[in-house]
Amino acid sequence: TNLTIARAVGRMKEVGVRKTFGANRRQVFWQFMAEAVAMALIALLLAYPLLKLAIQGFNQLQFTQFTDMNLREDVALYGWFVLFAVLVGLLAGVLPAVVLSKTKPLAILQKLSNLKIMQGVGLRKALLGIQLSVSLIFLILVTIAWKQINVAMTMNFGFGQAQMVNVQMQGQEAEKLRSAFAAVSGVERISAISHSMGTWADSKVDLRVREEDEPAEVRDYAVDHEYIGNFGLKLVAGQNFPEAPEQQQERFAIVNETFLKQFQLGSPAEAVGKTIWVADSTRLAIQGVLEDFYYKPAVYNLEPLLLRYAPGELAVMNIRAGGQDPTAAIAALERAWEQIDPVHPFAYQFFDDAVRENYANFTDLAWIVGAFALLGIVIALMGLLGIAIYTVETRRKEVGIRKVLGAGVQDVLWLLSKNYFLLLAIAALVAIPLSFLLGKQFVQQFVFQPEMTVWLFLPGILLLALLVALTVLSQAWRAAAGNPAEALRRE
């Protein structure tokens, strides 16, 4: 509406001339209404292909992988689009149409600056301030979200995952794969696990530390005797699973320090050798205690961990590839796989890539917030542009007089733009604490969090300030650089 009004200001003399030559109020009213609706329909034609592109991008987001949003080839749907565009055009055009149609032609032709077409400019500036605040909140939240995601993706789990390749076993025997992969040049070490650590993959087992206790759920992983050494996990007490026949290894469990604290099993040395009961009947002796490390994504705190030997549950081979470029090793591993299983494709993923995928939903959320920020900024800048155009048009005479009396270009620019920068400052004062509270709520979901410093807020503020300055000064410059005699002659 602000832009429509601003455009209307430049056509007021046209309206005055039309009325002088006999156009009545109704004709002027419907002329402006028809133009507004026509502009809305043109905007609809331009928006439709953009909407299709947006839907394609939305369907590629991680959390929409189970949905399929597409525009149906439905006449009724397009009818609703047209109806909505007409409604928007009517709402945008009604105010300038009413004001211009009822204004007396003599008043229009005499003094443009005295016309009060925007009597509610104070309200409009307040609404513009709200739009700027919301846009700034979104910008700051996007910055915080990206910083948090970067911190989460680069977190130190406490074990060595560099150059680690996870290969899906797809039902093949662990020892057969181990023998084939160990012969590949560039492979340094191999282990196996039921599901990859550091990801959302999860498994829990009912456990009792005393036979008479109620069972409690504990996260567990089935591993082989190579896993602890392959990932560089540190035993603070006890020892690793023994290299022995399977039936002997199934008697042992390895836990972390948090496990001991939660179940009150004493010091690591005291806990070694104690018996726990898994799945109601299986008795396991604690073989060793691991130093605490983060084995889940960054949204999880340290929790009790149970490692157990269960050959039938191993599903992922962890292969540490040496050298700077593991590409050759990957190709050789694929050839070795094809010799064992020519039916199933070789399925692998670098550990670091698996960790990054953990935060795909958060990354998608950041993109969506960024899209809303962009939309909010565009809407706010359009409103700002409308008010700036109106201000320049209605203050040309004042600017001309000030320039005749010696005001420079900088003086005029400051005169016409200072209120908008004040509005931006107020918007920032509102947006900063709100975005801080919202951002704090978001980062509290993570164990590792970025510091909420001024550098998380400054980029959004500077970006919005730059856009506001370009928008306002582009209009103020027209008046500041113009010929004052021409401005006074127009009045």
Nearest of 198, 160, 168 to residue 333 by alpha carbon: 168
Q: Count the Cβ atoms, other than its own, within 10 Å of residue 294.
A: 19
Q: Are residues 339 and 365 in the same domain?
A: no
Q: Are residues 136 and 50 in the same domain?
A: no
pLDDT along the chain (491 residues), means of 10: 57 66 76 85 86 72 56 74 89 74 58 49 72 91 90 82 90 91 91 90 88 87 92 93 63 92 93 88 90 88 90 90 81 93 93 84 82 85 80 76 78 85 92 94 88 91 92 83 63 55
Q: Are residues 97 and 139 in the same domain?
A: no
pTM for the model stands at 0.72
Which pLDDT value is given to residue 221? Answer: 94
Which pLDDT value is given to residue 486? Answer: 64
* Cβ-count burial 65-79 (b if 16+ within 10 Å, e if not): eeeeeeeeeeeeeee
Q: Are residues 114 and 146 in the same domain?
A: no
Helices (H) and strands (E) in the chain, counts: 18, 11
What tokens were used for 319? 């292969």
With respect to residue 352, please indicate whether it lies within any of the assigned structural domains.
no
Which residue, chain included where needed, has tokens 């726990």? 276
With respect to residue 165, please indicate whether it lies within any of the assigned structural domains.
no
Q: Are residues 314 and 206 in the same domain?
A: yes
| Single residue among 309, 326, 346 that ends a domain in this structure | 346
Q: Are residues 208 and 274 in the same domain?
A: yes
Q: Are residues 13 and 53 in the same domain?
A: yes
Residue pair 298/199 in contact (Cβ under 8 Å)? The answer is no
With respect to residue 108, please indicate whether it lies within any of the assigned structural domains.
yes
Handedness of CA 398, 400, 402, 405 (dihedral sign): negative
Which pLDDT value is given to residue 457? Answer: 93
Which pLDDT value is given to residue 113? Answer: 47
Which pLDDT value is given to residue 243? Answer: 76
Which pLDDT value is given to residue 412? Answer: 82
* Cβ-count burial 99-137 (b if 16+ within 10 Å, e if not): bbbebebeebeeebeebebbeebeebbeebbebbbbbbb
The number of folded domains in the chain is: 3
With respect to residue 178, please indicate whether it lies within any of the assigned structural domains.
yes
With respect to residue 353, please indicate whether it lies within any of the assigned structural domains.
no
Q: Are residues 29 and 134 in the same domain?
A: no
Q: Are residues 132 and 193 in the same domain?
A: no
Q: Are residues 426 and 297 in the same domain?
A: no
H helices of 60-192, in order, are 75-102, 105-110, 121-153, 174-182
With respect to residue 472, please indicate whether it lies within any of the assigned structural domains.
yes
Which residue, chain included where needed, has tokens 């081979």? 317
CA atoms within 13 Å, Cβ hemisphere of 466? 6
With respect to residue 351, please indicate whether it lies within any of the assigned structural domains.
no
Q: DSSP states of 252-293 as a string? A: EEEEEHHHHHHHT--SHHHHTT-EEEETTTEEEEEEEEEPP-
Q: What is the DSSP letter of 190?
A: E
Nearest of 101, 94, 112 to residue 36 by alpha carbon: 94
Which pLDDT value is given to residue 50? Answer: 80
With respect to residue 144, please indicate whether it lies within any of the assigned structural domains.
yes
Q: Are residues 194 and 182 in the same domain?
A: yes
Q: What is the DSSP letter of 302?
A: P
Domain of 96, in residue numbers: 1-119
Q: Are residues 251 and 340 in the same domain?
A: yes
| Single residue among 325, 346, 367 that ends a domain in this structure | 346
d(Cα 273, Cα 283) in Å, to the nearest integer?
12
Q: Count the Cβ atoms, other than its own, within 10 Å of residue 236.
A: 16
